[in-house]
Amino acid sequence: MSGMAIRIENIGKKYLIRHKAADGRASTEDFWALRDISLDIAKGERVGIIGPNGAGKSTLLKILSRITEPSTGRITLRGSVSSLLEVGTGFHPELTGRENIFLNGAVLGMRRAEIRQKFDEIVAFAEVEKFLDTPVKHYSSGMYVRLAFAVAAHLEPDILVVDEVLAVGDISFQRKCLGKMRDVGTEGRTVLFVSHNLTAVRALCNRAILLEGGAMVFDGDAPEATGRYLAVSTDNLLVRDWGDVSEAPSNHSATLEQVAIRNDAGAIPAGIYTDASFNVEIRFRVKEDDASVGLTINFFDKEGDSVFNTINNLESDWYGKPMPRGVYRSVCRIPANLLNNGRFSIGVNLFGRSFSDACVTTDVLRFEVLDGPSIRGDYFNEFSGVVRPLLPWKTQRTDVS
């Protein structure tokens, strides 16, 4: 266990589900929320836990926080644990904010003098100074979460466990929380973070666990984990094949056979990121000799509004030249640091000579663009717009010679 903060050995959690049939008969079945989870987490690691609803993420955190006991296996924790799992846990509703700060510190084994040293910092972070002496049962959900996170993060636990509860806070406070969790990790303490905000997971975590159906299906690099999650959990469509020619988009001269997003190695990428280029590859069949075939790619945002389009009329190999019948491949490179993070779709158009005989398509491919710390720096709020070029900045002092 040297250097380890958490050791999880064959953890499983079983619940008994009761059913009642229409004829009044009762039955039960076993439901495994978690099964055979094993992993080690080192001191100072920032680990994201991701997966679809019902994957077992919150159950795992509740076991690690000693809120519920596992049905099988065991966990070993080295050091104090502070958890923020849901609004309403950790605080006594009848006590004031001030009293709850001291109560939580005592639970973590801190002396009163140690809590006092952190008190002003907690209050300033939570922005609840006016309500310190009000029972927390009267707090709004946002106030409650701000104070709960401030207490959990600032009283220096060895292990900080945070669930999706941060979604309750406003965007500026979420940014503060993510920055604080990053600081906690750099101070040598351990952070476990459950979130559906994959950009935040990539920005904060140096490792991520992907859960599906109560089982761990991936443990490793956070960008790869989020990419795998997107590949199976969203309606991403990175390859479109038309095996049936009668159903394929077509004009007089050509028929689409495949449109795909590929990386530079020619493979379908696990994920698409703001700071990495990708290629849109179009395979089409020319149906007759001496044909003229042009291509347009249209990008749309999640609302279906046009983002931009690109046309191949400046490429020199085949555009505007007579094309013998056969199969062709055309590749358009989309540069890094162009698209904002978010959801996009692609349509591909075929056209003939003089931009005539057009075949227009939409929603051929769908994908989500993610980003991470290399492009965001310390900024976690939303970037407006659908494009986000990386532009050079330079600041100089001008009042000195």
Contacts of 300 (CB under 8 A, 6+ apart): 306, 307, 344, 345, 346, 347, 362, 363
Q: Which residue has the higher pLDDT, 87 or 17?
A: 17
**112 in the same domain as 53:** yes
In terms of domains, do 222 and 93 share one?
A: yes
Q: Are strands 294-301 and 278-286 parallel, antiparallel or unpaired?
A: unpaired
Cβ neighbours, 10 Å, residue 398: 6
**CA torsion sign, 46 to 86 to 179 to 336?**
positive
pLDDT tens track for 109-155: 778 888 899 899 889 888 888 899 999 888 887 788 888 888 878 87
Find the Cα–Cα–Cα–Cα dihedral 365, 370, 375, 381, rounded to 10°.
Answer: 120
Could you tell me if 115 and 13 lie in one domain? yes
33 and 178 in a single domain? The answer is yes
What is the rounded distance in angstroms from the CA atom of residue 206 to the CA atom of residue 184?
Answer: 13
CA dihedral of residues 164, 61, 202, 307 (deg, nearest 10): -40
**CATH code at 266?**
2.70.50.60
Q: Which of 233, 252, 271 lies at the terminal end of a domain, its last residue? A: 233
| Shared-domain flag, residues 108 and 225 | yes
- β-pairing verdict for 207-212 and 46-50: parallel
Name the pLDDT band for 336 (thresholds 50, 70, 90): very high
Percent of the chain scoring above 90 in pLDDT: 38
Distance CA 182, CA 45 (A): 10
Residue from 169, 163, 162 nearest 141 by CA: 169
Task: Provide the mean pLDDT of the chain.
Answer: 86
DSSP string, 3-70: TEEEEEEEEEEEEEEEEE-TTS-EEEEEEEEEEEEEEEEETT-EEEEE-STTSSHHHHHHHHTTSS--
What six digits make up the tokens of 335? Answer: 């540069």
The encoded tokens of residue 352 equal 């003939």
Least confident of 184-188, 244-248, 357-361: 184-188
The secondary structure element, H or E, covering residue 114 is helix 112-126
Answer yes or no: do 38 and 108 share one domain: yes
150 within domain boundaries? yes
pLDDT, position 372: 59
Could you tell me if residue 381 is inside a domain?
A: no
Domain that holds residue 101: 4-233
**Range with the largest mean pLDDT of 101-105, 113-117, 284-288:** 284-288
Number of domains in the chain: 2
Q: What angle do CA 97, 99, 101 make, to 5 degrees?
A: 70
Name the band, by pLDDT with cuts 50, 70 and 90, for residue 87.
low
Q: Are residues 61 and 208 in the same domain?
A: yes
Asked if residue 289 has pLDDT above 70, the reply is: yes
Q: Return the CATH number at 188.
A: 3.40.50.300
* 385 within a domain of the structure (yes/no): no
The Cα-based distances of 390 to 338, 352, 371, 387 in angstroms read 7, 36, 12, 10
The residues with which 40 forms a beta bridge, in sequence order, are 7
Residues 372-398 have pLDDT tens digits of 556 776 666 678 889 999 899 999 989
CB 31 within 8 A of CB 17: yes
For residues 99 and 215, state if they share a domain: yes
The answer to whether residue 120 is domain-embedded is yes
pLDDT digits (tens, 9 = 90+) for 306-325: 999 999 999 888 888 899 99
In whole angstroms, what is the distance from residue 123 CA to residue 147 CA? Answer: 7
